[in-house]
Amino acid sequence: MERASQLQPVGSPCTDVCRLDKTTGYCEGCFRSREEIKAWKTLPDADKLGLFPALLARKAAA
């Protein structure tokens, strides 16, 4: 079996707490911006993975 077919797609960081903070503009659950949320389905997996450090930093700063 090819290695590429064994890889799982990157899942969404959504926590079902879908409220945008009025000050930061980030979702209070997943810490993505409105633009990041909209683009998530079409982002390449590498871009999704690259976003996780920023999401963790936003969460830590909240």
pLDDT digits (tens, 9 = 90+) for 9-58: 999 999 999 999 999 999 999 999 999 999 999 999 999 999 999 999 99
Q: What is the pLDDT of residue 1?
A: 47
Backbone phi, psi, residue 11, to 5°: -75, 165
Report if residue 8 sits inside a domain: no
Q: What is the pLDDT of residue 28?
A: 98
Report if residue 40 sits inside a domain: yes
Which residues are 33's β-sheet partners?
Answer: 26
Report if residue 39 sits inside a domain: yes
Range of the domain at 35: 17-61
Supply the pTM of this predicted model: 0.85
Report if residue 12 sits inside a domain: no
Q: Is the pLDDT at 60 greater than 80, yes or no?
A: yes
Q: What is the pLDDT of residue 39?
A: 97
CA dihedral 45, 47, 50, 54 (to 10 degrees): -120
Report if residue 41 sits inside a domain: yes
Report if residue 46 sits inside a domain: yes
Report if residue 1 sits inside a domain: no
Domain count, the chain: 1
Q: Is the pLDDT at 4 greater than 60, yes or no?
A: no
What residue type is assigned to position 40 of the chain? W
